[in-house]
Amino acid sequence: MLQLTDVHAYYGKSHILQGVSIEVRDGELVGVLGRNGVGKTTLLKSIMGLVPPRAGAVVFDGVNLRNSPAHEVPRLGIGYVPQGRRIFPLLTVRENLRTGLAKAGNRVDEDTALAPVFADFPVLRARLEQLGGTLSGGEQQMLAISRALLGQPKLIILDEPLEGLMPAMVSMVRDTVRRIADMGVSVLLVEQNVKMALGVADRVYIMQKGTVTFAGRAEECTDTVLLQHLGV
What region, left, alpha or beta, does residue 2 occupy, with left being phi > 0 and alpha being psi -120 to 50 degrees?
Answer: beta
Dist. CA 229–CA 207, nearest whole Å = 8
For the beta sheet containing 55-60, the strands, ordered from the edge strand earlier in sequence to the opposite edge, are 14-24, 2-11, 55-60, 63-64
Write the single-letter amino acid at 120: D
Per-residue pLDDT, 61: 93
Per-residue pLDDT, 103: 63
Dist. CA 230–CA 232, nearest whole Å = 5
Residues 195/119, Cβ–Cβ less than 8 Å: no
DSSP E strand boundaries for the chain: 2-11, 14-24, 29-33, 55-60, 63-64, 78-81, 155-159, 186-190, 203-208, 211-217
Q: Domains along the chain?
A: 2-88+158-230 (3.40.50.300)
- Could you give the angle at the alpha carbon of 214 between the alpha carbons of 204 and 218, nearest 5°? 30
For the beta sheet containing 186-190, the strands, ordered from the edge strand earlier in sequence to the opposite edge, are 78-81, 155-159, 186-190, 29-33, 203-208, 211-217
Q: pTM of the prediction? A: 0.90
pLDDT < 50: residue spans in the chain:
none
Per-residue pLDDT, 106: 52
Per residue in 30-65, pLDDT (tens digit) is 999 999 999 999 999 999 999 999 999 999 999 999
Dist. CA 206–CA 33, nearest whole Å = 5
